[in-house]
Amino acid sequence: GQNIDQPTEMTATEGAIVQINCTYQTSGFNGLFWYQQHAGEAPTFLSYNVLDGLEEKGRFSSFLSRSKGYSYLLLKELQMKDSASYLCAVRDFNKFYFGSGTKLNVKP
Amino acid sequence: EAQVTQNPRYLITVTGKKLTVTCSQNMNHEYMSWYRQDPGLGLRQIYYSMNVEVTDKGDVPEGYKVSRKEKRNFPLILESPSPNQTSLYFCASSLDRGGNSPLHFGNGTRLTVT
């Protein structure tokens, strides 16, 4: 079956750096997405990886290793508004599989 | 404004009473899909559609129906809702010109079945 694993919850301090890991086991692989979801809101797109390596987008970076079935999202210079859930999703052909999300608490 | 619009935002119904949740996008996206989100389980795909009249099952299709008669609309139908379908539902669309098209989500529909 398809399996996407993420830590349930993490806490970090404002201004710090945090890394959210995601491991996956899927039948196929057509890309990995990271989404941010604030409480009570819709998920919004953060980043996409399909090749191994690091993709950087401002304060957010995402890394992928296809051989290890592993990705991480790196958030730098944390701000209070980064408190949210972060969802890892794998596209397998025309289907999407999501992890259960990592709730990030940013404290002052 | 480019968006995915779902209606209603909140819905309380009783077991067995047919209901439809509407979803519409104004971005000319080819791919549309429905998800349910439950605590501890994350988002699970119910159905998806690659284009008009082309639909297929996702991970948890039992108890749901969809149709794609027009490109912009993708309604979710629960013919006989049961309490285990109480959940938060999201519709999403993407351009799908290649696998890197991200999903754009609607604001969600919170459904309670008593």
Distance between CA atoms of B31 and B94, rounded to whole angstroms? 5
Give Cβ neighbours of residue B100 (< 8 Å, ≥ 6 apart): A31, A48, A50
Label each residue of chain A as H, E or C. Answer: CCEEECCCEEEEECCCCEEEEEEEECCCCCCEEEEEECCCCCCEEEEEECCCEEEEECCEEEEEECCCCEEEEEECCCCHHHCEEEEEEEEECCEEEECCCEEEEEEC
At B102, is the secondary structure helix, strand, or coil? coil
Q: Name the average pLDDT for chain A.
A: 96
Q: Name the stretches of chain B with pLDDT < 50.
A: none
Interface test mutation site (partner A, options B43, B49, B87, max chain A beta carbons within 10 A):
B43
Q: Is residue B22 within a helix (H) or strand (E), and if so which, with residue range?
A: strand B19-25
Strand partners, A62: A55, A73
Of B44, B102, B107, the CB nearest to A33: B102
Tens-place pLDDT, residues A49-90: 999 999 999 999 999 999 999 999 999 999 999 999 999 999
Q: Is the dihedral of CA B68, B74, B79, B80 positive or negative?
A: positive
Contact A95 B59 (CB under 8 A): yes
User: Span A13-24, mean pLDDT?
Assistant: 98
pLDDT at B100: 82
Per-residue pLDDT, B96? 79
Q: What is the pLDDT of residue B97?
A: 63
Q: Which residue, A99, A64, A60, A66, is CA-closest to A82?
A: A60
Is the CB of B43 less than 8 angstroms away from the CB of A89? Answer: yes
Rounded to whole angstroms, the Cα distance separating B20 from B3 reads 20
Tokens of A3: 């399996």
Q: Could you tell me which of B82, B34, B32, B39 has the C-alpha nearest to residue B60? A: B34
Minimum CA–CA partner of B50 in chain A: A94
| Element spanning B112, H or E | strand B109-113
Contact residues, chain B, for A94 at CB < 8 Å:
31, 48, 50, 56
* Pairing of the two strands B54-57 and A102-107: unpaired
Instruction: Give the DSSP per-residue string, B59-99.
Output: S--TT-EE--SSTTB--EEESS--GGG-EEEEEEEE--SST
Nearest CA in chain A to B57: A95
